[in-house]
Structure 1
Amino acid sequence: MILNKIKTTAICATLLAAVSCTSDFNEINTNPTGITAQELEQDFNHVKVPFSTVFTGIFNTTHWKYQLQQNLNADIWSGYMATPTPFKGAAGDNSNYNYVDGWNGFIWSLPYTDVMANSLKIEQRTKGKYDQFYAVSLILKVEGMHRVTDVFGPIVYSEFGTTNTTIPYDSQEAVYTKMFSELDFAVAELTKRVDAGEKSTFGSIDMSGYAGDYKQWVKYANSLRLRLAMRVVKIKPALAKTEAEKAVNHKFGVMTTNADIAKVIIPNYIDPILTISSAWGDIRMSADMESIMNGYTDPRLAKYFKESADFAGQYRGVRTGINMIAKSDRTGMSEIGSIVGSNEKVLMTTAEVFFLRAEGALRGWNMGGTAQGLYEVGITISFGQHGASGAASYITDNVKMARDFVDVKDAANNAAAVNKVTIAWDGAASNEVALQKIITQKWIANFPEGQEAWSEYRRTGYPKLFRALHNTSGGKITTEFGPRRINFVQSEKDGNPGGVATGVAKLGGPDNGGTRLWWDTTAGNF
C-alpha cells in the first residue's frame, strides 16, 4: 500500500464539495478553446467526460484507491482474498475487524466524487432533452451506488446536490425504492427507442462493450433489477418477487449469454488487484477459496489464482483474521491469477443472473426455468466465460466437498472445512441445502467481485466461511457473524453532522460494524 496517498484533501472533504470535486474538475469547468455549449452538444462532448468518470469510478482505477475502496474490506470479508500484510501489527485492522477509519473513508468519498457528482452533471445536461443518455446514466448510478448503501445502510441519495447546510440521509429502504424507480425510467425510455428503431447516439461514449446498443443496456438494467430484488427478499418478499419477475419477463429479458456480460473496458488498463497482489504483495488467495475450490477440484482454479511460490503445483491460501507476524511469512501463497490480466472490469456476469434466477425458481417465482436447470446453466456459462473445460462432469459430481484448511506456517490457524455441500443438484434436498449450493456456485462464479459476494454472504450466510481467530473489534463485531457494515465516515461527521444524525436515526442500531442493514435480517432464508 502507498500509505502517503491516504489523506483527505480539503476540496473533497464533504458532500457539499463533491458535486464539483471530480478528477476532471478543470476540464469540465473551464473552456480554453472558446467552444460554445451549443457546439459541444452537437457531438455530445458535454457529457463524454462525466460519463467516462462514472464508468471508471464504479471500481476506482487508481490502484491504491481501489485497495481502500474495496480490496481491504469487501474482497476480504467475502472470503475471496486475504492479506498477508500485518498493516497495523497486533492491534489488527479491517481483516481483524478493527476498522481503520482512514482507509474506510474512501468507500464513501470515491463513489460520491466519481459516480454521484458526475451522474448529477449528466442529469442536468440531458434530462428532458437527451433522455437516452440520462437513462444510461441512471443504470450506472444504480450500479455504483447500491454498492454504497450495501456498505453503510442509510446514505445521501435523493437529496444529493442540494446546497443545504445539512444534507439528510435516506433510509436504505428509501434508497432501494428510488433505485427501482430509476431502473423503471431507464428501461422504459430505452425500450421505447429500440421499438422505434432509433439509431443509438451513445456508441462513442459507451465504455461497456455494448457499442451503445440500447437493447443490451435494457438487459443489463433488468439483470441489475433482479440482483436488487433478491437482496430484499427476506425483508420485502412480495416486492422481491414482483421486481424479479418484472426483470425476467420483460420483452428483452435479462442477460443470457456471455456476450451480455456487463463490464467496463478501459484502454491501457491494469487491474488494481493485479498490482496489489503481484507488485505489492498485499493480497493473496483466501483459505476459504483454497478449501472450496481445491475441494471441488474446480477447473477454474488455475484462471483465478497462480500456483504457490512456496509450494510448486499447489494452490495455497491465507486465513483471514489470524495473528500476522511478518509479511514474508505468507507472500509465497497463491497470488491472484490471469482473471485480472485484461483491460476489462466486470460489473455483472451472466452466470450471476442464472444463479439469481435459480434462487427465484427455488422460491416458486416465474423465472423461465427450473431451479436445477438454471443452476446448471449458471455453472456451465461460468466455465465458458473463463475458458475452462469439464463443466458437464463437474455439475454431476455428488461426492467432492470443501476440504480442511492447513496453515503450513502455523498449525494454530488450521480449520476443518465448514461449507460442506456437494456440487450436484439434489431434488430431495431441503430448500436450505439447495440455496447453499446455489450461493456457493454463484460465489465461485462472481470472483473477484468481492462487494457482491460479501453482500450475498450477509443476506444468506453462504457460503459458510472460516471465522476470524483474532477479533480486535473490541466487541463491536461478533466473531460468529463478522462485519455487517462500515460505520459512517469521519468527513461526513465533520462536514455534515446533522445529516449523519439522520442516518444514525434510520440505521436501527449503533453506528458500528456489527449493526445489520435493513435487508440483512436475522430471519431464516425461507
Structure 2
Amino acid sequence: MKNKILALLLISSALTACTDHFEKFNTEDGAYTEDKQGMDFAGNTMYFQAIEQGIYFNDPAPGGTDWTFQIIQNLNVDMFAGYFHDMASKFFPNNSCYNLNDGWNSAAWSYTYQYTVSAINKCEAANTDRKQFLGINKILKVATLHRLTDIYGAILYSDFMDFVPDSQEATYKAMFADLDKGIELLDEALAEGIPENAFAEHDILMQSGNRTLSAWSRWANSLRLRLAMRVSNVDKNLAQTEAQKALNDKHGLIETNAQGVFVSTEKGYKNPLGTIGLSWWEVYASANMESLLTGYGDPRASKYFTPAVGGNEGVPGNYKPLFDYSGTFKGIPMGLGGEKNIPAENNAYKYHARSTIQVETPAPLMTAAEVWFLRAEAALRGFSSENVKNCYETGVRLSFEQWKATGVEEYLDSESKPIDYKDVFDATCNMKAASSITPKWNDTVGNEEKLERIITQKWLAMYPEGGEAWAEQRRTGYPKLFKVLHNESQGTIDTDIMIRRLPYPSNLATDQPQLYQQLTSALGGADNGGTRLWWDTGKNNF
C-alpha cells in the first residue's frame, strides 16, 4: 500500500497506471517465487538490481530501455551540461532553445519515484535485520536521490509516507545522515562476522575484484565529499565538516581507477548512450566539447567522439558546408532552430562528431579522477592540507589512464586555450571561445582562476555523465559554456544566466495541488527553469 499510494501521488501523465507497473515490477525484476525460495537472502536482495540500474536509468520495467534514459537525461541534463546535442530535427525547437518539454522534464521525477524509489522502499522494509544490505541500501538512496534534488530542488526524501517535501537544504542534511548510517551499518555487519563479499553476487556497481562491503563505505565517503563541495558556496561550515569527515574516515576515498563506480554491463544492463548514439544517430559532440577538446589538442577527443564524416550527403535543401570539416571533432551548438529556418531543420548536422559510447561501455557513476578534483577543491578552500596542484594533476592523469589516452605530461604543461566555434552551415551561429583557461597549473593566480582550471578539467574527466557535470557547472559557473543561440523560454530563463533547473511534472499542479504547492514553497521560487537551487548562489565563496 505504501508504494501504491506514493505512485498515485507522483504519477506522470506520460505513464500508465501505477498499479500495473508495480505488478510488472514485482513479477519481472526478481520476485520471491517458488524457484527462488531456497536461495539464501533472495527476499533481502531481490530489489537491488532495479535500484542499481535505476541510478543511471536503464531499467526495463517501464516497458523498454534506452528511450527512458533519453528523456530522463539525454534530452535535457546532458545537453544543459554542455556535453551533447541531438542533431535530429524532430527535437527542435524544444529544450535546445529553452522551450521546455514537459514530457521530457517530468521523466526523471516519474521514473525515479515509481521504479527506483519504490525498490529502495521495499528493500529497506525487507532488510530491517540484515545490516549489510540495509547499509548498502542507504548509500544507494543517496546516490539515486541526490541526482533528483540537483535537477528539481525540493523533493520527497525523509519519509515518503509524510508526503511533505523536504527543502533542498533539508534533503542534503538528511543525505549526509544516511551516509553516516550506511557506513555505520556496514561496519557493524563486518564486526559481527559478515564477510566482505556478502554483496558481491548482487553488485553491478563496484568493479570486479573490488566488490566488498568496505568498497561501499569508500564510495559513501566519496559521495560525501561530492555533496560537501556542492554546498560549499551556501554553507561553508557544513561543507567543511562533511568534507573533513570524508577525508579522514578510515575507509578512505576512491583513489584509483580500479576503485571507480560504474554500472557494469556484464549482467544484462546496457549503456543507453550506446543505443541512442550509435544506433539512433542522436548523440553528438556539443560546440563546447569541440571548443575545449580541439583547442587543447586533447588526446581524449578520439576516445570520446568519432571524427566528423563531413559533407552533406542525403541532406535536403541547399545547405552546403562553408568549409571542409571532415576528420574534425565538430560539435553542434545549443539553440539551433528557434525562430530561424536554418539547416538544423533538415538534419544537416548529421555528419558531425558522434559519441563513441557503446552499449557494452560501463556507465560511470563516480570516477577516481572526479574524486581527486574534489580533493583539489577541498584543499583550495582550506578544508585540508593537501597540495592543490598535486590533486589537480593526479585527477588529469587518472582521467587519461581511464580512457587509455597518451601524452598526459605534455598536456599538463600545455598553455593551449579553447577555440572559437565556427558553424559549418550558418556563419551567424559563430561564437567566440567562452574561456581562455589552459590545462597547465598556475600557482600565482587567485582562487577563482584556480577553481576554473580544476572544474574545467573535472568537467572533461566526468564525461559522459552529464548529471554531475551540469550540477557542477551551475554551482561554479565552470567551465564557461556557449550561450543558447535562441531562447524561447518566454522570459523565464535568462540567456546569460542559463537554465538552472527543470520544472516539476505539470500534472502535479492539477492532480495533486497540495503536494505541488508544498514543493514550490519548499523550492523557494517559481517553478520554472530560471529558478536557482539552494546551493546555486551565483558566486564562489572562498
Q: How does the TM-score come out when normalised to structure 1?
A: 0.91
User: What is the aligned partner in structure 2 of residue 390 from structure 1?
Assistant: 407
C-alpha RMSD of matched pairs (Å): 2.0
Which whole-Å CA distance do the structure 2 matches of 1:377 and 1:196 have between them? Answer: 37
* One of 16, 39, 62 as aligned partner of 1:10: 16
Deviation of the 1:28 alpha carbon: 7.0
Which whole-Å CA distance do the structure 2 matches of 1:390 and 1:44 have between them? Answer: 48
Aligned ranges 1:259-338 → 2 under 5 Å: 259-266=258-265, 267-310=267-310, 311-323=325-337, 325-337=344-356
Deviation of the 1:24 alpha carbon: 2.0
Deviation of the 1:307 alpha carbon: 0.7
User: What is the aligned partner in structure 2 of residue 485 from structure 1?
Assistant: 501
Percent sequence identity is 38
Deviation of the 1:269 alpha carbon: 4.3
Deviation of the 1:31 alpha carbon: 6.2
Paired residue type of 1:21: F
Q: Does the 8 Å CA contact 2:32/2:43 hold for their aligned counterparts?
A: no
Are 1:206 and 2:203 counterparts?
Answer: yes
- Post-superposition Cα deviations, 1:278-327, rounded to whole Å, max 9, x if no partner, equal 22222210000000011000011110000101143211000011225424
User: What is the aligned partner in structure 1 of residue 243 from structure 2?
Assistant: 244
Larger deviation, residues 269-278 vs 212-221: 269-278
Paired residue type of 1:278: L
User: What is the aligned partner in structure 1 of residue 318 from structure 2?
Assistant: none
Deviation of the 1:483 alpha carbon: 0.9
Paired residue type of 2:466: G
Q: 1:362 and 1:297, CA in 2 relative to 1: closer, same or farther beyond 3 A?
A: same
Which whole-Å CA distance do the structure 1 matches of 2:494 and 2:522 have between them? Answer: 22
Which whole-Å CA distance do the structure 2 matches of 1:340 and 1:29 have between them? Answer: 27
* One of 367, 371, 374 as aligned partner of 1:353: 371
User: What is the aligned partner in structure 1 of residue 425 from structure 2?
Assistant: 409
Q: Does the 8 Å CA contact 1:286/1:318 hold for their aligned counterparts?
A: yes
Deviation of the 1:519 alpha carbon: 0.6
Q: Does the 8 Å CA contact 1:154/1:507 hold for their aligned counterparts?
A: yes
User: What is the aligned partner in structure 2 of residue 105 from structure 1?
Assistant: 106
Q: 1:177 and 1:329, CA in 2 relative to 1: closer, same or farther beyond 3 A?
A: same
User: What is the aligned partner in structure 2 of residue 224 from structure 1?
Assistant: 223
- Post-superposition Cα deviations, 1:104-144, rounded to whole Å, max 9, x if no partner, equal 111101111222110111110102x1011011011111111
Q: 1:30 and 1:213, CA in 2 relative to 1: closer, same or farther beyond 3 A?
A: closer
Paired residue type of 1:407: D
Aligned ranges 1:124-523 → 2 under 5 Å: 124-127=125-128, 129-160=129-160, 162=161, 167-194=163-190, 198-199=194-195, 200-210=197-207, 212-266=211-265, 267-310=267-310, 311-323=325-337, 325-337=344-356, 339-340=357-358, 342-366=360-384, 369-397=386-414, 399-523=415-539
Which whole-Å CA distance do the structure 1 matches of 2:462 and 2:24 have between them? Answer: 29
Which whole-Å CA distance do the structure 1 matches of 2:166 and 2:51 have between them? Answer: 22
The alignment partner of 2:306 has SS state of coil
Q: 1:293 and 1:22, CA in 2 relative to 1: closer, same or farther beyond 3 A?
A: farther
- Post-superposition Cα deviations, 1:130-168, rounded to whole Å, max 9, x if no partner, equal 0110110111111111000001100111231x2x7xx22
Q: Does the 8 Å CA contact 2:76/2:104 hold for their aligned counterparts?
A: no
Q: Does the 8 Å CA contact 1:24/1:49 hold for their aligned counterparts?
A: no
Q: Does the 8 Å CA contact 2:134/2:185 hold for their aligned counterparts?
A: no
Larger deviation, residues 279-288 vs 430-439: 279-288
- Post-superposition Cα deviations, 1:58-78, rounded to whole Å, max 9, x if no partner, equal 122211000000000110001
Which whole-Å CA distance do the structure 2 matches of 1:492 and 1:194 have between them? Answer: 44
Q: 1:250 and 1:322, CA in 2 relative to 1: closer, same or farther beyond 3 A?
A: same
Count of matched residue positions in the alignment of Structure 1 and Structure 2: 502
Q: How does the TM-score come out when normalised to structure 2?
A: 0.89
The alignment partner of 1:204 has SS state of helix
Q: 1:22 and 1:170, CA in 2 relative to 1: closer, same or farther beyond 3 A?
A: farther
Paired residue type of 2:194: E
Paired residue type of 1:485: R
Q: Does the 8 Å CA contact 2:167/2:523 hold for their aligned counterparts?
A: yes
